[in-house]
Structure 1
Amino acid sequence: MVKHTNGERKMPEETEEKFNLLSFCEEAVSLLIMAYLFIVFSFYPFYMQNGYVEIGDAKFSFYKDITLGGFALIVPLAVISMLLRYRETKSFVRYKTLSVTDCAFLFYGVAVVLSYFFSEFKQEAFWGEKGWYMGLATQLLFILSYFLVSRFWEYEEKLLLAFMAASAGIFLLGLLNRFSVYPIVIEGANREFISTMGNINWYCGYFAVLFPIGFVWYWITDKKWIKAAGAFYVLLGIATGVSQGSSSAFIVIPALYLLLFCLSFRSLKRMKSLFELAFLFCAACQALRIWRLYLPESFDYYDGSLSDWITMSHATLYAMVPLAVVYLLMLLAEKKKHMDITRYKMLRQIILLVLIIAAGVYVMLLIFNTRARDGIRFMGGQQILIFSEYWGSSRGGTWSAGIGVFQEMPGLRKLVGAGPDCFASYLYTLPDVTEKVMDQFGTSRLTNAHNEWLTVLVNNGILGLIGYAGIFLSVWLRFIYRAEKVTAELKNKLLDDSRQLLLYAFAASAIAYTAHNIVSFQQILSTPFIFLLLGMGERLMKKKRENP
């Protein structure tokens, strides 16, 4: 007997979500950006054509083709997404407000366009000086890449791990090459060129951008497998950093340690991680020393260089002893719960004050010793205390040239600059500056001041420098402030999403890049990466804090 139920028959509930064109387009843009990031960070560093012969041209050609090709797909979809979002929410983007960093990027972009518009060297200014290619088009691609990533990229930890794996491969090749091991036969190889980066200055620029990510990740992570992989990465990175030959690495590495030292007084766990990183530095240097002792002819760089000295020094061996003692004391204090590291913040202030005083004393000695007729007694013959064209691996000469070019500019030119990447084009129109440059560098073409911000000042004027400085200053302050706030909320269990702690890493990369470029320059193997990383950091800043 069949029973009949009263009432209307219920229809099955719909389980499939209604198709949403906006979500589809935004997800497509995000996936395309992720693919673009993967190619740029994981394949681009390894790309070569004809070995080291015109490697700058080959690298730029790859970057330009992959970026223009990728953006040809990404930008139209991004525009469609913005129009669809406006139709639904009356706002073109998910986040209506512009951050200070966004405004700085826009200001810098306007300054670069104005600089190009008023430039007398428009052909050179569009793509930039041959071999460098830091012109208008490249700068606008950097800015566009920042905005696309900061608005549409979705955080994916595995993607960052891929970046670290790729950079580890670059570092390993660089380390092996420095010790006369060439797994890949590369045309034009010599001691001035290593890995697949080419010139050691370009290699060090890449190192300054990528190494801080893994370095800081080790410091913040609680995941044991990332900690273990991070230890290997830090060992490899330090080993190649101290041995590759460019002295600018010895600005980057101390800058990173000083930054983490200042940030480690919030918890004993972080201070322990800092001491572990310090011990890894000593271990890497001593491993290189053992390598050199057993294979004395393998190290392929100049005698007397910083790389030569530190890879044979006993200093890092002796430093292991106090590091180990203090670390063991911290372990005992942690076990007995007797130590509150925040009570020792005064030590941070004291050390920073000592460093500031030391820097001030050095500058005063440099000024007095340079101006004195016979120099300061007992110091007159010290080249490091005489500011001349040969000071700091000839940085005295390049900086003087940059300052001389800017001083020769008329009023409007000072405001807008010579034109994007037109440093050399303008310099060689000035007879007095040209004569001094040729006296020092001969027929070699000086294309920048070997100081990034001074070069930006000449190329893009006061307006360009204001925008560029605003980008990096705002990133340092905003990213670290947010990461510190997240740290406090995690400690007080007000938040359980730790993803934004990676803002420490993005800030560290920006700081290391700037520190390195005090004596270096924008180039195609570092600047594209830093702008993309800044976009990734800004995306984390804008993203709502959600549980993983």
Structure 2
Amino acid sequence: MRKYITWGYLIIICTILPLYMKDGYYMLGESKGLLYLGVSAAFALVLVLFERKKLLSGIDKESFAFFGLMAFLFSNIISFVFSINKSVSFFGLEGWRGGFLTVILMLFFALVFSGQELFSKYVTAALLLTPAFEFVLGILGRFGIYPIAIAHQNNSFVATIGNINWYVGFLSVFVSLGVGLCYTEKLFSKEFFLLALYEILGLVALLTQGSESGGLVIIGAFLLLLFRSLGSRKSFLKMSAQFFILGLSMEIVDILMLAFGSLYNYQDNLLVQACSGFKGLILMASAFFLYRLSRLFEEISGKWRGKLFTEVLLFALGIGIAVAVYKLRSSFGYGFGNGRGLIWSISADMFHTLSPWRKLVGVGQDGFYSYAYSVPEIADSLLNTFPGNKLTNAHCELLTMLIERGLLGAVTYLFFMGTILCAFIKNKKERAATICALPVIAYFLNSLVSFSTVTSTPYLMLAIGIGLSSCKSEIS
């Protein structure tokens, strides 16, 4: 019975929640947040009442990842107990609903699914139908085609998810899942081509949606997959196919812009620019060349030097990070990232105004807004900088967490994410571990310039739970 209850919950959350809109885009976060809380609380209650004896069965309570999850849970309890506004901290701020109750429900289902059986391909297919529909809606919407009439429509909103930041958070989970699923299928099988179609739709949606943070999603997913693929020639052949799919997606975007660029209804951005000039064709040709070269060496029994390739990639990655940090420091200012530089500066000032105790435990979940406008100097700065608007988070999940849950919350969150990634990466034989590792790194990188929402973070936690269920027999 437990299996069917959890399957039912997963299907409802993955199909109804992304589509649900009470009054169009007006108070969309509030309507989705309340739906998530209602559905999740109801299913959690059913599981506790009818499956309480089996609820924790199958969960690996000795694993390091379990310890990381418990540490993050503990820090959230502490933050709530000492929050400055118990009501907001528990239920979440209106319009966001990222309070203690939401966190508890997300972690509860991550635990439940970590002891669950793996899913059949039919359940997986059912889970991907709505995300695929959201991909199509996002692509059409960027070129002014709206098959569904939605109230309060404007160019900042995409599909039925919300603004571009919410949409990229959603894509960071479901596109990277598609990449992992396609990568782990047998090359050129029927399932491979179906998942490749899903992946292409997701990548095109990600490349056209308008937010440049989508590049972090692609970089994170493909880099992690590349590291995983260097262990064997067979895996590298699969990775070559993934780069071909990425190039094909880029070329599709280039063709769309050449043919319908005048209809594109968002500002010019780096991702669209990266697809121009037939760069997708170049990537496709390079991927095909590497595939054929690898097959040639396979036919002549050439030795695969996975360790050497990994070391070269690590060296190149180190140089790339150093260059990126240098350019970031030289170009950083208040205008960085569409005003994120200014928001981060104000948020850093907010953290400095906290007492030593508040620096440790924070002001409480979803308490960023309440605290910011309770400090006169911070409030004046926000009112002068964002007249008519309310700043509810730092547009960096880790920085927001530092203020709302303190050093304790931020450190345990990083520890939690680290233990999860270690569990997935070390478990090289598990298909689901590879698939579920990609959303973790993709979501985390995007969250550095974005924020937690009910259309992204709950799906990350579900992916973590499902991934852990595949690892518990080998990782301790």
TM-score (norm 1): 0.82
Number of residue pairs aligned between Structure 1 and Structure 2? 473
Q: Residue 251 of structure 2: which of 259, 264, 286 is its match?
A: 286
Deviation at 1:415, TM superposition (A): 1.2
Report the counterpart of residue 62 of structure 2 in structure 1.
98
- The 8 Å contact of residues 73 and 104 in structure 2, kept in 1 or not, is answered as yes
Instruction: State how 1:484-503 maps to structure 2 within 5 Å.
Output: 484=428, 486=429, 500-503=430-433
Deviation at 1:341, TM superposition (A): 4.3
Q: Residue 101 of structure 2: which of 127, 134, 137 is its match?
A: 137
Instruction: State how 1:179-194 maps to structure 2 within 5 Å.
Output: 179-194=143-158
Report the counterpart of residue 372 of structure 1 in structure 2.
none
Q: 1:535 to 1:94 in 2, by over 3 A?
A: closer
Cα shift readout 1:401-432 (whole Å, capped 9, x = no counterpart): 22111111111111110011101111112222
Report the counterpart of residue 394 of structure 1 in structure 2.
339
- The 8 Å contact of residues 151 and 539 in structure 1, kept in 2 or not, is answered as yes
- The 8 Å contact of residues 34 and 153 in structure 1, kept in 2 or not, is answered as no
Report the counterpart of residue 383 of structure 2 in structure 1.
438
CA–CA distance in structure 1, aligned partners of residues 302 and 67 of structure 2: 47
User: Within the alignment, does 1:255 sit opposite 2:220 as a pair?
Assistant: yes
Instruction: State how 1:142-541 maps to structure 2 within 5 Å.
Output: 142-222=106-186, 224-302=189-267, 304-342=268-306, 344-363=309-328, 366=329, 369=330, 385=331, 387-482=332-427, 484=428, 486=429, 500-541=430-471
Deviation at 1:469, TM superposition (A): 1.4
Query: What code does the residue aligned with 1:390 have?
Result: G
Query: What code does the residue aligned with 1:266 have?
Result: G
CA–CA distance in structure 1, aligned partners of residues 461 and 102 of structure 2: 12
Q: 1:50 to 1:218 in 2, by over 3 A?
A: same
CA–CA distance in structure 1, aligned partners of residues 404 and 275 of structure 2: 38
Query: What code does the residue aligned with 1:47 have?
Result: Y
Report the counterpart of residue 40 of structure 2 in structure 1.
67
- The 8 Å contact of residues 109 and 143 in structure 1, kept in 2 or not, is answered as yes
Deviation at 1:449, TM superposition (A): 0.7
Deviation at 1:354, TM superposition (A): 2.2
Q: Residue 50 of structure 2: which of 77, 91, 94 is its match?
A: 77
Deviation at 1:139, TM superposition (A): 1.1
Runs of 4+ with deviation above 6 angstroms: none
Query: What code does the residue aligned with 2:46 have?
Result: L
Query: What code does the residue aligned with 2:361 have?
Result: V
Query: What code does the residue aligned with 1:447 have?
Result: T
- The 8 Å contact of residues 60 and 115 in structure 2, kept in 1 or not, is answered as no
CA–CA distance in structure 2, aligned partners of residues 332 and 46 of structure 1: 48
TM-score (norm 2): 0.94
CA–CA distance in structure 2, aligned partners of residues 259 and 81 of structure 1: 35
Q: Quick check: which has more Rg, 1 or 2?
A: 1
Query: What code does the residue aligned with 1:74 have?
Result: L
Q: Which runs of 5+ in 1 are unaligned?
A: 1-27, 83-91, 370-384, 487-499
Cα shift readout 1:279-335 (whole Å, capped 9, x = no counterpart): 222222222222232334222211x32244234343333343333333322232233
Give the match's secondary structure for 1:418. Answer: coil
